[in-house]
Copies of this chain bind each other. A is one copy, B any other.
Amino acid sequence: MIGAGNVAYHLSVYFKENGFNIIQIFSKNLENAKALGNKIDSDFTNEEALISSEADIYIVAIKDDAIADLVTKIPQLKNKLIAHTSGSVGLEILNKLSNRAAVFYPLQTFSKDKNVDFQNIPFCIEASNSEDLELLKTLASEISQKVFSINSEQRAAIHKAAVFACNFSNYMYIIAEKILKENNVDFSILHPLITETARKACLNSPYFSQTGPAKRNDKLVIKKHLSSLSNDELEIYQLLTNQIIKTYNNE
């Protein structure tokens, strides 16, 4: 396991719990490597030169923009299957290390202090050849019920879509919380609405569950909202409202 951050941590613990043997943890941060190594009873190192050549599969679970640097520093892993877990990086970046480059991308948002149930997390799998694709599929199927064969172009689209569906929707919650705080209302009053909105979007297409003043093109309410928003929120409200109006009035 190359990496000891959120994804590396949860994958390592889950693999271990499911009977896999992780022979070594590598991380440039020795403390992290040691903590994870000790937790799952595995060897660990922070030196690139000491990375084991004995593993069947190498999983690179480090930050997207750290992969390019990593591949120049660790020894060749000829004929070894090596897969990264990134949504935004192509498979070919690993070709420098091995002819058996692959991707093993879990589509979820991870926090270190929270247990992860991988069974329900989609894994997007890609490999340079069909044998390795099957091997990775088998591996992923041991920990998840949702395994998809996804090419690099599709994975890039999924990653981009996830920014909207996860990061940007969360930012909408942040703005909502800020507006409520300014009016001494607890954010928890919105919990049922947030949960229901997410639930409905997953029952059918979110296109059919859109509601609100922009969807209705309710100019009075929109004007009232705009008049009481501060600069940053005002700009977002205006842009998203205009686009929702455009989306539903082009029908």
Interface residues of A (CB under 8 A from B): 63-65, 88, 107-111, 114, 120-122, 124, 146, 148, 150, 153-154, 156-177, 179-180, 182-185, 187-202, 205-207, 209-216, 218, 220-221, 224-225, 228-229, 232-233, 235-237, 239-240, 243-244, 246-247
Contact = CB atoms under 8 A, between A and B. Distances in A.
B184 A228 contact: no
A165 B157 contact: no
Give the number of times this chain occurs in the complex, counting copies. Answer: 2
B189 A158 contact: yes
B165 A206 contact: no
Contacts of A169: 168-169, 172-173, 194, 197-198
B221 A183 contact: no
Main secondary structure of the interface of A (DSSP, over half): helix
Nearest to A189: B122
Contact of A170 (B108, B156, B210): B210
Contacts of A160: 179, 225, 228-229
Nearest to A215: B167
Contacts of A189: 107, 122, 124, 146, 148, 158
Nearest to A235: B239
Contacts of A124: 189
Contacts of A154: 183-185
B157 A179 contact: yes
B157 A192 contact: no
A247 B166 CA distance: 17
B109 A174 contact: no
A151 B65 CA distance: 49
A224 to B, nearest CB: 6
Given A243-B232, A243-B236, A209 B176 contact: no
Nearest to A165: B176
Given A111-B209, A161-B176, A179-B161, A64 B166 contact: no
